[in-house]
Amino acid sequence: MLYQNMIDAIGNTPLVKLRLNTSSAASVYAKLELMNPFGMKDRVAKQTILAAKSSGELKDDMPIIESSSGTMACGVALVGRQLGHPVHIVTDPRIDSITYAKLTSLGCKVHVVKEMGKHGWQSARLELLNKLMEEYPGAFWPRQYENPENPRAYRELAMELMNDLERIDILVGSVGSGGSLSGSARALKQVHSDLKVVAVDATGSVIFGQPDRPSRLQGGLGNSLIAPNVDFSVIDEVHWLNDEEAFAATLQLAHNEQIFAGNSSGSVYAVARWLAGQVSEDCNIVAIFPDRGDRYTDTIYSDQYRKDHGLSALRFSEGPQRVELDCEVSSWSYTTLMGVHPHEEKTIIR
């Protein structure tokens, strides 16, 4: 297919039916957002930056400054640099060498914070970002965690899914900034009113009311802050996986389905595969796979890294434990939300 530029190449990603295993009854379709030029958040960068240019908020030649340790940074670099803007990315030491090389080669200025803030790496990055906004008056900050253009970007993803499938019963997706699952779910529910939406998070992430553990190893999903773009009203169920379970599932995804992905995709794969054994065979499950595995070659896919972090055994449960919303979890667990805002609960176990 011919495109006039790299921005036009964003979107229209493949939808692939997974093979799964003998215990799976339902059909699971993987939306390979990892096959965007850099990853799923290319959509957010495109939507957000083009909207800002259209409204006049982003003037020609003005800098774009964003906080990111992964795919959002690459998306902003792609779109911003294509349109001729200087791009500054604020990140932290967790950034991998491949992402760093991508950003610098595209012409970005990368700013790495040295220490965590009061609320983990995200808060430290935001402090530095605010200083840069003062240094560059007129700069544009996409604000992926709160900008409504983030979830709005995924309406197009939902349209692509509905063009490919006549019926979608369950949508499974990871949650970090909240845009992809919330935006896709809202658009799909306008047509599929009975859609069940299942969120996938990391243990030690605060999004769904758990205590913060900034030392968690998973990247791409989870957060030490609660992003305003997380729409709890459209989420029916949440699953948490710990680092070992997420890494194991990611390796299984590569081995069983030949999809070389990151731990967000691996965790979503584990949950979708389990759900496929809990429902009837006429159920259609869509799993959003956001991230490629290239930035995890020295972590998830490294025997030495897993050994150094005590993850060599790669223990993985056959299924999750059902818990109450106010229960602190350390391994694969799930609970129902059904529109309940988890931060209205006051009894999280500390």
Q: Is the pLDDT of residue 348 over 60?
A: no
Angle at 37 between CA 35 and CA 40, to 5 degrees: 60
Residue whose C-alpha is closest to residue 243's, from 197, 308, 292, 179: 308
Q: How far apart are CA 144 and CA 121, in angstroms?
A: 16
Supply the pLDDT for residue 150: 97
CA dist 317 and 302 (Å) reads 22
How high is the pLDDT of residue 68?
87
- Residues 196-207: what's their mean pLDDT? 97
Does 333 score more than 60 pLDDT? Answer: yes
DSSP E strand stretches across 263-346: 284-289, 321-322, 333-336
Q: Are residues 153 and 286 in the same domain?
A: yes
Give domain status of residue 144, yes or no. Answer: no
- Cα 212 vs. chain centroid, distance in angstroms? 18
Asked whether residue 48 falls in the same domain as residue 170, the answer is no
More confident call, 27 vs 214: 27
Look at residue 350 in the predicted model and tell me its pLDDT.
23
Residue 94 in domain = yes
**What pLDDT does 2 receive?**
94
Q: What angle do CA 145, 43, 182 make, to 5 degrees?
A: 50
User: Is the model's pLDDT at 23 over the cut of 90?
Assistant: no
In the chain, the number of structural domains is: 2
Answer yes or no: are the C-beta atoms of 347 and 326 closer than 8 Å.
yes
If pLDDT is split at 50, 70 and 90, which confidence band does 18 have?
A: very high
Question: Is 64 part of any domain?
Answer: yes
Calculate what percentage of the chain has a pLDDT beyond 70.
Answer: 97
Task: Look up the domain containing 115 and give its range.
Answer: 42-135
CA distance linking residue 250 with residue 300, whole number of Å: 8
Specify the pLDDT at position 220: 87
Query: What pLDDT is attached to residue 215?
Result: 87
Does residue 215 lie in a domain region?
yes
Q: Say if residue 103 is in the same domain as residue 174.
A: no
Lowest mean pLDDT among 32-36, 195-199, 280-284, 334-338: 334-338
The residue from 82, 111, 135 where one domain ends is: 135
Residues 127 and 155 in one domain: no
Query: pTM for the whole thing?
Result: 0.93
Whether 94 has a pLDDT exceeding 80, the answer reads: yes
Residues 24 and 48 in one domain: no
Q: What pLDDT, on a 0 to 100 scale, did the predictor assign at position 344?
A: 65
User: If we measure between CA atoms, which residue out of 156, 228, 213 comes closest to residue 188?
Assistant: 156
Same domain, 183 and 240: yes
Q: How far apart are alpha carbons 311 and 300 in whole angstroms?
A: 10
Q: What is the CATH number of the domain that holds 222?
A: 3.40.50.1100
Judge whether 141 lies within some domain. Answer: no
pLDDT at 349 over 60: no
The C-alpha torsion from 123 through 338 and 248 to 39, rounded to 10°, is -60
Q: Within this chain, do residues 46 and 165 fall inside the same structural domain, yes or no?
A: no
Residue 245 in this model has a pLDDT that exceeds 60? yes
The answer, yes or no, to whether residue 340 has pLDDT greater than 80, is no
Digit-coded pLDDT (tens) for 288-323: 999 999 999 999 999 999 999 999 999 888 899 999
Mean pLDDT of 192-208: 97
What band does 69 get if pLDDT is binned at 50, 70 and 90?
confident
Which of 135, 160, 187 is the C-terminal boundary of a domain?
Answer: 135
Residues in the chain: 350
Could you tell me if 111 and 178 lie in one domain? no
Residue 142 pLDDT: 96
Whether residue 123 has pLDDT greater than 90: no
Residue 347's pLDDT is what?
A: 36
Is the domain of 312 the same as that of 217? yes
- The tokens for 309 are 């972090």
- Domain boundary pick from 135, 167, 187: 135
Structural domain includes residue 350: no
User: Has residue 131 been placed in a domain?
Assistant: yes
Structural contact between residues 346 and 279, judged by C-beta atoms closer than 8 angstroms: no
The amino acid that residue 48 corresponds to is: T
With beta carbons less than 8 A apart as the criterion, state whether 24 and 318 touch.
no
Question: H or E stretch including 274?
Answer: helix 263-275
What is the average pLDDT value for the chain, to the nearest integer? 93
Rounded mean pLDDT, 99-103: 95
Residue 24 has pLDDT above 50, yes or no: yes
Distance CA 240, CA 179 (A): 18
* pLDDT tens profile 147-185: 999 999 999 999 999 999 999 999 999 999 999 999 999
- Residue 81, class by beta-carbon neighbours within 10 Å (0-12 exposed, 13-18 middle, 19+ buried)? middle
User: According to the per-residue pLDDT averaged within each range, which of 24-38, 115-129, 313-327 is highest?
Assistant: 24-38
**Which residue in 148, 138, 146, 153 sits closest to 46, CA to CA?**
153
Indicate if the pLDDT at residue 246 is higher than 90.
Answer: yes
Please tell me whether residues 174 and 258 are part of one structural domain.
Answer: yes
Kindly state whether residue 1 falls inside one of the protein's structural domains: no
